[in-house]
Amino acid sequence: MSPESKLAEMVEKVRAYSPHADLAPLEKAYTYSLKAHEHQARASGEHYFVHCAAVAETLIDFKLDLATVCAGLLHDVIEDTPVTRDDLAAEFGNEVALLVEGVTKLDTIQFVSRDEAQAENWRKMLLATAQDIRVIMIKLADRLHNMKTLNFLDQERQKRIAYETLSLYAPLAHRLGMFRLKSELEDLAFTYLHPAEHAALDAQVKAMMVGRDAALERFKAALEKKLVDTRIPYRILARSKSLWSIYQKMERQKKTFPEIQDAMGVRLITDTVANCYALLGLVHTEFKPVAGSFTDYISVPKLNLYQSLHTTVMSPQGDLIEIQLRTEEMHRTSEFGIAAHWRYKLGAAAPDAHLEEKLNWLRQWIEWLQDLKSPREFLESLKTDLELHQVFVFTPAGEVKVLPARATPLDFAFAVHTDIGMACVGAKVNNKMVKFDYELQSGDICEIVVKKGSLPKKDWLNHVRTARARSKIRHYLREKGIVV
């Protein structure tokens, strides 16, 4: 496709979701980036601008605002060309210049180790993200295209970049609720980190697809027949599980591919929360549910605000089918995450509560991470708090706290309140006293025992997993002159 045709296509896509926007800046950014990179090529031999256009296209797919799309087109000009931040500000305004600056790497700083370099890059990116969440969206779009063209790099760089993608970028996309992007990143990384396992599983899934499509169609027909008399509005979508998530489940549960019960699934999407539960009742009345398979993420949303009802049922033909029930709004959030709530996109005057909740979590989290001085500790805490597997633990009053897997009573205490954590002397889980290294499980009821005047101990750092708890303990110990 010619540059002119590609630009026309982009303009039409943006106009479709933002009909009143002045798209002249988009055309200008496209031409500017094309010229700035005109003598550069990628490892594939392609013109470098192909990458810039691909990043912008991903941002357009997420229906992001014009400034973000322009910044996507320009995201490498400060780093890779003579263009300066002031040049960008003069041409495109301060907003676009700030976004591009937020994405640009710290190439000028001399680091003593790769750990330190990686930690500092992430620290800078997260700080920029706290000021403007669009920075991380551009960075994730940038990483997605880099992963799609990873085959042109040598094997060592492929594995290093794939590992970083799987351990940091994909979990960050997950934490921001951007599931579609997260799944793409994971499956691309899987290809390079475990090529033999990826090829074998891919072949198994493709073989299953032949029978799967027919089985799903039979189930959907049976389901629609049962729901035909209801006045509840709904639509049914087939759900495909990513190869990486299937592989992880096989490893975690020590099962073979045929034993994974939710490889086949459908989504029931309706208009209200009440109708989600009504449809669940109808499904369970007509199809036998699998014991222990029901999870309610509507009443207790995940940390990234994901909401759905999950259940697995037996079809009339004996197939196990996982069903996810959610509203249209929940579905948008599950597909696009924070991008679905981006208020600047529509120029809304009132703040979006979901977005504010996400941003407040991010800002608070960065504040805790900033307190960790060791680069290795910073990265480990980052990975822990991006943990995909979470536990739901209750206070005695019934309030739920969502924590990363393997969190301890001390993590729980600091999640309830800093003062509770600081004065903690013990913990009861399900009415039994437990040690501080006890690993909490979903459904546990945790009661923290406090004592006035009690203060944190240095060895507590061996028993906490979350950045919040670690930061609070370290801060207190440093104030007391205790070396940590």
Where in the sequence numbering do the catalytic residues fall?
79-80
φ/ψ bin of 188: left (φ > 0), alpha (ψ from -120 to 50), beta (otherwise): alpha
Q: Is 220 exposed, middle or buried (0-12, 13-18, 19+ CB in 10 A)?
A: middle
Q: How far apart are alpha carbons 328 and 318 in whole angstroms?
A: 30
Q: How far apart are alpha carbons 122 and 67 in whole angstroms?
A: 23
* CA contacts within 13 A on the Cβ side of 251: 9
Question: Which DSSP symbol is given to 165?
Answer: I
Nearest to 134 by CA among 357, 338, 336: 338
Q: How far apart are alpha carbons 434 and 454 in whole angstroms?
A: 18
SS3 396: coil
What's the gap between Cα 325 and its chain centre?
20
Cβ 29 vs Cβ 60: under 8 Å? no
Cβ 416 vs Cβ 395: under 8 Å? yes
Q: What tokens does 92 get?
A: 């495109």
Q: What tokens does 345 get?
A: 């996109």
Tell me what percent of the chain is helix, strand and coil, each rounded to the nearest 5: 60, 10, 30
Nearest to 115 by CA among 186, 164, 73: 164
Rg from Cα positions in the chain: 24
Q: Is 141 exposed, middle or buried (0-12, 13-18, 19+ CB in 10 A)?
A: buried
Nearest to 451 by CA among 429, 422, 478: 422
Contacts of 403 (CB under 8 A, 6+ apart): 390, 391, 393, 411, 412, 415, 440, 465, 466
Cβ 401 vs Cβ 414: under 8 Å? no
Q: What tokens does 131 get?
A: 């000021």
